[in-house]
Amino acid sequence: MEKTEDNSSCCAGSGSQGNVAGDAFFLKSALGVARATPDVSAALQARLCPIPGGIFEMGTRKSTFAADMDSPRRKVKLTAFALSPHATTNADYAVFVAATGYRTVAEVEGWGFVFHLLLPAPSAHPISPPGLPWWRRVDGANWSAPEGPGSSIAGRENHPAVHIAWYDALAYCTWAGLSLPTEAQWERAARGGGTRRKFPWGNEMTPGGQHAMNTFQGDFPARNSGADGYIGTAPVDAFRPNAFGMFNMTGNVWEWVQDRFGPLPPASRLPALDPSGAADGYARTQRGGSYLCHASYCDRFFVHSRTRNDPDSSTGNCGFRVATPHA
């Protein structure tokens, strides 16, 4: 059944700092970072996996959430490209920050949203977005201190970098000489060459009775049993990759893509060639769902699932992976 309610912030978190006037500053900062040396950039590009071009069906037959605009299915034709097999890690982002001195949106603004169960004392952080009490504003929360002061990424170097705004992902790509994938590229890679499948591996959420992704297990948002092995983020190479070698294309963290949020390419007899999203609009697109997605409220953990957020949004379940148009 199609759900008319939005639920766009159920697990993506409306983490926008709400400073539209500051967007010019953040964009200038992202595009102004020093570039990596050619050998560093080449080494980063060498880690990407080639994804074959071709025609595939993007989207789904009928949306679960009408506001997601992920239906109907439509044919898309892509040129071959290359994509990181996993989300950008804390270790990767630390190298970038050390090389450039870049400060993320959360660091500049001084706060980020953290899921309440990840905080030792949620009541110490009473501010939440309207209607979303599970998100708590935490002063000092950012990519290197994901739960705020006293937390760190020690022991989580191989986890995805989070509290990453779209501008922060753009900054990393600018330094690395890479790019964010387009939404169509992301979905092509997530499907692993399969057709009309729900998940990167097939149509069963728990194939063979085994968890295959990191999502919320239990009673959202009050109790997470951790039955899939994780309460928050998982290592970027947790669970099995799909046929294209992609890890965690569903669950774990929402991933920014290049595209502005809008309707998918129109369905037509001829496939859309290398689409790149809406021509205008403020919000950017996120794909894949996160460790907070749950069937009872926000089941955006399918290969076609999409949501939107403001480009200065900073939350504890949002990261990115990198691409290049050359396979």
Q: What is the pLDDT of residues 43-101, one digit of tens each?
A: 999 999 999 999 999 999 988 888 999 988 999 999 999 999 999 999 999 999 999 99
Helices 90-100, 166-176: inter-axial angle, 10-degree rounding: 70
How many CA atoms does the CB half-sphere of 39 hold within 13 Å? Answer: 0
User: pLDDT digit string (tens) for 190-202?
Assistant: 999 988 899 999 9
Mean pLDDT of 15-27: 70
C-alpha 12/C-alpha 80 separation (Å) is 30
For residues 86 and 241, the answer to whether their CB atoms sit within 8 Å is no
C-alpha 219/C-alpha 292 separation (Å) is 11
Residues with Cβ within 8 Å of 234's Cβ and at least 6 positions away in sequence, in order, are 159, 214, 228, 248, 252, 291
C-alpha 142/C-alpha 139 separation (Å) is 9
Token reading at 322? 């990198």
C-alpha 208/C-alpha 96 separation (Å) is 40
For residues 181 and 257, the answer to whether their CB atoms sit within 8 Å is yes
- The domain 20-324 is placed in CATH, from the list 3.40.50.720, 3.30.70.980, 3.90.1580.10, 3.40.50.300, at 3.90.1580.10
Mean pLDDT of 304-316: 94
Residue 253: pLDDT over 50: yes
Structure confidence at residue 19 as a pLDDT band (50, 70, 90): low
Instruction: Give pLDDT, residue 290.
Output: 97
Identify any residues that bridge with 81 across adjacent strands, giving them in sequence order: 51
Residue 15: pLDDT over 50: no
